[in-house]
Amino acid sequence: MDGKELQGHNLQKLLLLLNVVAAVSGDSPVSVSGFLGEQVVLPCTYKGNAPVSDLLVIWETAKGEILQKFITRNNDLTEQDPRFRNRTNLFKDQLGQGNWSVLISDLRESDQNQYLCDIHKRIAVGYIPEQTDIIHLSVTERPQTPVPTTLVPGDWSVSGFLGEQIVLPCTYKGNVPVSDLQVIWRISRSEILYKFVDGNDDLTEQDPRFRNRTKLFKDQLEQGNWSILISDLRKSDKKMYECQIYKKKEEVHYLVKSDLVHLFVLERPQTPVPTMSVPGVRSGFGFGIGVGVAVGFFAGVLLSGIVFCVFQRRPKWNCVQNRHSNN
């Protein structure tokens, strides 16, 4: 291994270590489930304040298989793993609000995996890791009912943080035009979160506490994505929600699908490294200092690597993309 290869290898190891530290010190992994042949939304919300034009976002599996890559306001699917081709979508109209969730269509057993939403921010000489979200996806068969007219609701569980955004997933694969559907997101029989009828929003019955806080992904409705985005999460939003989908037949709407979503609202930890126990290490203040020193050390080495790359006049992209160039 020559000097350049060794430098690239060491930088790659450093980036991986930084991502591990970020993952350990960040949020807990989110669990999401979906049904074979249907769609699922893997949630990812950007917590920083950089504009979309300054972000590099990579959705990948734990093995480094790329689902979706976004850089300089455009998708870059040149490195996308072939088995995800034509099956993934970002919510383009929500990127500016920090919603980097990805929609996976036509779910397969092989999609059951751990996924990473890696968000990098542009600096003077390239991109540096800023945030990594971990999502565990489980894929199962939808339960079969003995009577075709009996509806078995899907059962989802998602969690979000106070003051931030969350996507409640709901999909319908029924080959029915949007104009012939009525979709109601409700909390109870009398509380309406969102209502969509015959191709248009109908918010006349929307519960006042959700006013100006909810949104459908209008560019994805034809593909069957009826997920809803809730902004400015509050403790009172912790509830069970129901996505009801009705199909029009002879001017009457009939219920064809009902999904349940359990929403949990959490407080984001105030410190980057909460007190946590590691076998053989005391938890608490001392351990927090140790992790802080480690992060500082890694950051210092990373900066040195970047400076070295600049003086060696290596391409910017190679200096920060070693992790993905080998996929």
Confidence band (pLDDT; 50, 70, 90) for 287? very low
49-58, 146-155, 305-314: range with highest mean pLDDT? 49-58
Q: What is the CATH number of domain 27-142?
A: 2.60.40.10
Same-fold call for 27-142 versus 150-268: yes
Residue with tokens 């999904």: 259
CB neighbour class for 173 (10 Å; exposed up to 12, middle 13-18, buried from 19): middle
For residue 318, give Cα distances in angstroms to 5, 11, 16: 11, 10, 15
pLDDT-based confidence at 308, cuts 50/70/90?
very low
Residues 6+ apart with CB under 8 A from 23: 132, 134
Percentage, residues of the chain above pLDDT 90 = 28
Cβ atoms of 256 and 246 closer than 8 Å: yes
Residues ≥6 apart with Cβ < 8 Å to 264: 157, 158, 159, 160, 238
Are 283 and 277 in contact, with CB atoms under 8 Å apart? yes
**Predicted confidence (pLDDT) per residue in 239-261, tens digit:** 999 999 998 887 788 888 888 99
Q: How confident is the model at residue 143 (pLDDT cuts 50, 70, 90)?
A: low
Residue-wise pLDDT tens digits, 8-67: 444 444 444 444 444 333 456 888 888 888 888 888 999 899 999 999 999 999 999 999
- Asked if 199 contacts 215 with a C-beta cutoff of 8 angstroms, the reply is no
Domain ranges for the chain: 1-26+270-327, 27-142, 150-268
Take residue 234 and report the two structure tokens written for it: 């509050």
DSSP code for 207: -
Confidence of residue 233 (pLDDT cuts 50, 70, 90): very high
**Top-tier CATH class for 150-268:** mainly beta
The set of residues, in sequence order, having a beta carbon less than 8 Å from that of 200 and lying 6+ positions away, is none
Single pTM value for the model: 0.47
Q: What is the pLDDT of residues 87-99, one digit of tens each?
A: 898 888 888 888 8
Mean pLDDT, the chain, rounded, equals 75
Those residues whose C-beta lies under 8 Å from the C-beta of residue 277, and which sit 6 or more positions away, are 283
136 phi/psi in degrees, rounded to 5? -100, 120
| CB of 233 closer than 8 Å to CB of 165 | yes
pLDDT at 306: 45
Q: What is the pLDDT of residue 111?
A: 94
